[in-house]
Amino acid sequence: MSLIPRLFPEEPAQASPPRPAQQIARGTTQARYHHFALAVAILTEIAQGTVPADQVLYHHFRKLPQMGARDRGIVAESVYGVLRQRRSLAWRMGVGEKQWNMLVAGFMLDQDWADKTFVLKWLGNQGASQALDDLARSTDEAPLAVRANLPDVLAERLLRVYSEPELLALCAAMNQPAPVDIRVNTLKAERADIQQMLDALGLTTELTPYAPNGLRRHDRRPLFSLPAFKEGLFEVQDEASQLVGHLVAPKPGERVLDLCAGAGGKTLQLGALMQSKGSLMATDISAHRLEKLTPRMRRAGLSNVRPVAITGMTDAHLKRNKGMFDRILIDAPCSGTGTWRRNPDLKWRVLDLEELNATQGALLEGAVRLLKPQGRLIYATCSILPEENERIIEQFLAHHPDFQLLSAAEILAEQGITPPHVGDMLKLDPAQHGTDGFFAAVLQRVAVTVEADKDVV
């Protein structure tokens, strides 16, 4: 049941017009009241549950098929804007961090999408006037966690890794909407040709700074209806994710395993890097997510990919491949702290790092049995927390003297890829690289023995 009738039983009959500088706020008064109400309802639902913000938005928009793209954009930007700036908005206005109606009103006023008279009529509360006036308040004297728009516990955890200026710069970058990066499918097209084709359609792109097959767009117009996408000439994939694929660096003819393939974004890239030659097994414990890979690989023109749903690391499909793989990519389940640009709701979820760490370690241990002598394990997360990254690698190496850490910088440099601040491990973040936050490490087996089977999951 929609929360809108309960939250907003009446709408004011009139309101002042929005400021003309912002086209996004134009429209009928009734429509703009609905934008406010729907954004508040969605934020309330996100805060009360565990469903990701994008899925909550999708669910609400599906129930409103008459709602145009521009109106959906206003609501989505309001929801994501409040999630990004929740603490600083609340602090500036002197209101609670879950007073969603006040936070939405403050965000829209802050963005110049509406004026104060309109907002006050919508709120129906003249007592809100002072809170809206306080939006002009600076956060210079606010606590660090407020300025960073983080929960206290996350701010404290990250201050063990970053200096205060570094953390503020990182969080400022995380609070910006992410661009849309695409990866050109080199089995079917060249990057220059796709860029020229998109430019001719008025879809301006720029080259990704580091990924050799990537293009970047800074507006959100959808690309999925384009013939070039339907023909498999490109996929949407963040540059950081593309760089992980280049760190795997699979060769044509090899046997490769994408252990946590999900819907197959990295699988498609690995298949293209292999020139569709060799064997690429894509596994996941979610058969539903894996189902999405089959039409994608057909569209991409890949014939070497085999999707396999598994029950865990002791699944028979994996046991039959003991010691068979040249390279194994583990895109491990993680906190997603590197994806706050796209998923700002994750900042406000309770983290269970202990459970995540257990899963991450178990995946590495299970993958050891599947790897050939001299084979490579590539461990990756979209996390910026050392507990999920460096610590996991350190623990693994301490228990596996038959493995060594290879230099991520050298592997990428061999392909002409030279992002700054990359050493033995790949650590990317939006402040330094303009990408999602990502981590990856390459571990190579140096001994010739393959461990006996043992249950790890």
Active site amino acids:
382
**Cα 441 to Cα 228, 274, 365, 386, 428, distances in angstroms:** 34, 20, 15, 12, 12
Rounded CA separation 204/219 (Å): 9
Name the nearest CA neighbour of 181 among 133, 99, 240, 128.
240
Q: For the chain, what is the largest distance between any 2 Cα atoms, rounded to a whole number of angstroms?
A: 78
The full DSSP string for 32-43 is: HHHHHHHHHHHH
Question: Is the separation of the CB atoms in 345 and 46 below 8 Å?
Answer: yes
Name the nearest CA neighbour of 357 among 329, 381, 328.
381
Q: Which residues pair with 255 in a beta bridge?
A: 279
Q: What are the structure tokens assigned to 146, written together?
A: 């407020």
Rounded CA separation 282/248 (Å): 14
Rounded CA separation 122/10 (Å): 9
The enclosing H or E element of 359 equals helix 353-368
The CA-to-CA distance between both ends of the chain, in Å, stands at 39
Question: Is the separation of the CB atoms in 41 and 61 below 8 Å?
Answer: no
Q: CA angle at residue 137 from 132 to 140, to 5 degrees?
A: 150
Rounded CA separation 266/45 (Å): 32
